[in-house]
Structure 1
Amino acid sequence: MALASHLEELQRKHGDIEREIDEALTHPSTDELEITALKRRKLALKDEIEKLKTRH
């Protein structure tokens, strides 16, 4: 059961970052480096989610 809750937490974080990116893109003063960093974090979470799904 721990795996399922961990997976849910990663998916929640992934969604949170996606919303942060969307919000950052609506503000013209947002730094491109910040957006790039958020996208990298989102991709890393997606990769981890996929690894856990294929392992289980």
Structure 2
Amino acid sequence: MDDSEIQRRLELLRIEHRDLDAAIDALRLAGAPDQLQIARLKKRKLRLRDEIALLEDQLIPDIIA
């Protein structure tokens, strides 16, 4: 993957991450929140965060000090 592809993928992942935040908040505010669904969304959000971090690391060049 070149840098432009990584940037596009990062943007899509960040959008999905924000959408999951909104979905989790909406479920919490529901009359009877579904704890299992919230837990699944949180796990997905954590996986996205890990993938975002991995891609961001690919964009930063290794500098030998």
Q: Give the TM bin, normalised by the shorter chain.
A: over 0.9
In terms of Rg, which structure is larger? 2
Identity %: 36
2:63 maps to none
Gaps of 5+ in 1: none
**One of 34, 39, 42 as aligned partner of 2:37:** 34
CA RMSD in angstroms comes to 0.8
Structure 1 or 2: larger helix share? 1
Considering Cα pairs closer than 8 Å and 6+ residues apart, tell me whether 1 or 2 has the greater RCO: 1
TM-score of the two chains, using structure 1 as the length reference = 0.93
Structure 1 outlier segments of 4+, above 3 Å: none
Deviations 1:3-53 (A, max 9, x none): 111100000000000000011100132210000000000110001000110
Q: How many corresponding residue pairs?
A: 56
TM-score of the two chains, using structure 2 as the length reference = 0.81
1:17 maps to 20
**One of 6, 10, 24 as aligned partner of 1:7:** 10
Gaps of 5+ in 2: 60-65
